[in-house]
Amino acid sequence: MRQGNGSARYHTPSEHESTFGSAGSRRAPSRFGAGAAIAFLLLLAWELVVRVLEVHSPTIPSPSRVFLELLKEALQLKEDAWITGMESLEGLLLALAAGFLLAVLDTTSKSLHRFTAPALSFLQKMPLIALAPLIVTWVGFGTAPAVAVAFLLCVPPLAASIRAGFYAAPDEILEVLQAMDAPRLKTLWKVRVPWCLPFLSSGIKTAIPLALAGATVAEFVGSTAGLGYTIVYGASRTEAAPLLAALTVLALIALISYGIVRFLEQTLMTWAGSLPSVTFAGQIPDSHAFSVDRTD
């Protein structure tokens, strides 16, 4: 029985839609506003401390210096951002394909089904990023290891969320279709895949920072380009300004990617808001920098 969405059950369609539209758009900006205000105050405090105490160390630059560095190195940073961004994206997309394939096989094969859940759960508990140097020694220098590490870090959360989404489709509808001998692939495509989308987007939101972290760390170890390289290079010269500038760009990429996924979610999956919120809990890692609960 569908008790979870009790509140929405008796709404007329028009009421229903308007509740959706306003709930999402009204609360989000205020939260964002509060966050931005706090961040601004912290930066201001930092700037004041550096200026008042006359800190001249290159390891503690003021935010304004970092900002100037951003402007000065804009072209270089843009190039770095493109490299790291593309590596992360490729890793993430490959992981998406692998995760999807794994989840499909999981739903079709009983023996695999018994194996995938513990395997994914194990991998999610492992600090896979520590494998980056090993992967560089295997794959070699350049962009390939970055893509590989991003891929490696993204597969477990993506596969787990897609798999969870596939199994979230109610047994009843699957039985109804099975009883009429509906083709299995069509059932997958028309029922399981759409049902999985909210889970998938939640998985992608978890995977975005992982992909960026994976690509960056791989660049620390084995690359001469990209934001990761700029970061270690700055660190090796004990110069924090270029390092912080690169970190700022990295953070911006993460935020923008998150925003894009969130936007797609809100425009393509309005129906998902009416699903019981339990559906979205209990998958993948519980704590992550950008994992936001679905109730907002």
Structure tokens at 177: 């279709």
d(CA 253, CA 259): 10
Considering the complex, state which of residue 187 and residue 291 has its C-beta at the smaller distance from another protein.
187
Nearer to another protein, 8 or 86 (CB): 8
Nearer to another protein, 123 or 177 (CB): 177
CB-nearer residue toward another protein: 41 or 176 = 176
Q: Are 243 and 231 in contact (CB under 8 A)?
A: yes
Least distance in angstroms from the C-beta of 21 to another protein: 14
The distance of closest approach from Cβ of residue 295 to another protein in the complex, given in angstroms and rounded to an integer, is: 17
Is residue 231 a contact partner of residue 246, using CB atoms and an 8 Å limit? yes
CB 287 to another protein: min, Å: 29
Chain residues that interact with another protein, rule: CB under 8 A: 1-2, 5, 8-13, 16, 170-173, 175-183, 186-187, 190-191, 194-195, 269, 271-272, 274-275
> Which pairs with CB-CB distance under 8 Å and at least 24 residues apart come from 5-10?
5/274, 5/275, 5/276, 8/274
CB of 158 to another protein, least distance (A): 22
Cα separation, 158 vs 203, in Å, equals 5
**Shorter beta-carbon distance to another protein: residue 173 or 252:** 173
Residue 16 CB, shortest distance to another protein, in Å, is: 5
CB of 151 to another protein, least distance (A): 30
Residue whose token pair is 């290891």? 145
DSSP 8-state code for residue 278: G
Residue 177: Cβ-neighbour burial (10 angstroms; 0-12, 13-18, 19+): middle
Q: Which is nearer to another protein, 121 or 178 (CB)?
A: 178
Helices (H) and strands (E) in the chain, counts: 12, 0
